[in-house]
């Protein structure tokens, strides 16, 4: 790969991580390649000495996510995942991460649906008790159902509201793991 | 070597290198590579992190028609080296204890 080709590859694959971050990384690698060529390496060898481009991109991107330089860590992680999938060496790792992600998202969505649906169900059930009028007992059932519905609604709301933060938190941890595995693989 | 440990060591090595003189990316790698395994893609995040933590500042100089980004250690960076050395003497004691327990 020639230098320009390599730098374009970086730019293309890091484009979702903020233009300041990307320009900085590019000028760093540009400088390194120039210095290596000044030291006598030809252009191809200088680029090749940096290692597999996909790995380098994944490393750089992980660092940006981990250091909170990216606005939306979850989205950043998905891009990193895409990069991992492009590299044959990192493909198994990508599969593991993708599976984990699907599990986390599924659990999150299931919780939201479960809390929401049960809450609505309880309200309907309580009203049903009114229709089937049975004196005081009906009112007690309605009361219990409404209390249950409120509790579940709060749980529903908390899951929706803080779920995203939680997933972002997990993402940052996950990305850190990926990076460590990635670096171990470089040796 | 354990990754977290190595990461910490590398940061201090980079700072120590800069304490000798201001330097640029490629030179830092050349100087440190005899001592510890370091690649271009490992150095970059370290430099970013050190800059973010105000352990170093950067400036750009022209050299043979091309720009070179130089890194300079700050007072805070110097204090981190001292801190590391102080902590390390405690680690040495622990290592001696571990070795003693093995025998």
User: So where are chain B's domains?
Assistant: 3-95
User: Where does the pLDDT of residue A30 fall: very low under 50, low under 70, confident under 90, or very high at 90 and above?
Assistant: very high
Nearest to A105 by CA among A51, A164, A50: A164
Which residues of chain B lie closer than 8 angstroms to A29, CB-CB? 40, 44
B3-95 carries CATH number 1.20.1270.10: no
Query: Is B25 in contact with A186 (Cβ distance < 8 A)?
Result: no
pLDDT score of A132 more than 90: no
- Using a CB-CB cut-off of 8 Å, the residues of chain B touching A28 are 25, 44, 47, 69
Please judge whether A55 and B48 are an interchain contact, meaning their C-beta atoms are less than 8 angstroms apart: no
Q: What is the pLDDT of residues A147-180, one digit of tens each?
A: 999 999 999 998 888 887 787 777 777 777 777 7
In this predicted structure, what is the pLDDT of residue A187?
Answer: 46
In angstroms, the CA A177 to CA A81 distance is 13
Q: What is the pLDDT of residues A116-126, one digit of tens each?
A: 999 999 989 88
Overall average pLDDT of the A135-144 stretch: 86
From chain A residues 1-40, the ones with a CB under 8 A of any chain B CB are 24-25, 27-29, 31-32, 34-36, 38
A186 has a pLDDT exceeding 80 = no
Taking the whole predicted model, whether its pTM rises above 0.80 is answered as: no
Determine which of A79-93, A130-144, B16-30, B39-53 has the lowest per-residue pLDDT on average.
Answer: A79-93
The predicted pLDDT at position B1 comes to 66
What angle, rounded to 10 degrees, do the helices at B40-52 and B25-32 form?
Answer: 110
Question: Which H/E stretch holds residue B33?
Answer: none
ipTM: 0.86
């Amino acid at each position: 790969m020639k230098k320009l080709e390599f730098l374009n590859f970086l730019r293309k694959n890091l484009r979702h991580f903020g233009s300041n971050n990307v320009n900085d990384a590019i000028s760093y690698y540009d400088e390194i390649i120039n210095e290596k060529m000044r030291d006598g390496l030809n252009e191809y060898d200088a680029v090749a000495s940096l290692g597999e481009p996909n790995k380098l991109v994944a490393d750089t991107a992980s660092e940006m996510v981990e250091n909170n330089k990216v606005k939306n860590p979850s989205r950043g992680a998905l891009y990193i995942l895409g990069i991992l999938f492009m590299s044959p060496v990192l493909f198994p790792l990508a599969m593991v991460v993708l599976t984990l992600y699907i599990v986390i998202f599924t659990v999150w969505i299931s919780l939201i649906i479960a809390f929401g649906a049960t809450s609505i169900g309880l309200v309907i059930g309580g009203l049903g008790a009114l229709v089937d009028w049975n004196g005081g007992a009906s009112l007690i059932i309605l009361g219990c159902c409404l209390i249950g519905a409120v509790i579940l609604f709060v749980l529903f709301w908390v899951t929706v509201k803080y779920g995203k933060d939680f997933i972002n938190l997990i993402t940052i941890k996950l990305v850190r793991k990926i990076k460590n595995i990635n670096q171990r693989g470089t040796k | 070597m354990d990754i977290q440990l190595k990461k910490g060591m590398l940061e201090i090595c980079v700072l120590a290198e800069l304490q000798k003189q201001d330097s640029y990316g490629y030179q830092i790698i050349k100087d440190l590579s005899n001592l510890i395994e370091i690649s271009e893609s490992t150095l970059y995040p370290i430099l970013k992190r050190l800059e973010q933590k105000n352990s170093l500042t950067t400036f750009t100089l022209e050299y043979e028609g091309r720009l070179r980004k130089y890194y300079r250690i700050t007072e805070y960076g110097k204090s981190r080296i001292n801190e590391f050395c102080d902590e390390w003497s405690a680690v040495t004691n622990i290592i001696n204890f571990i070795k003693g327990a093995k025998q």
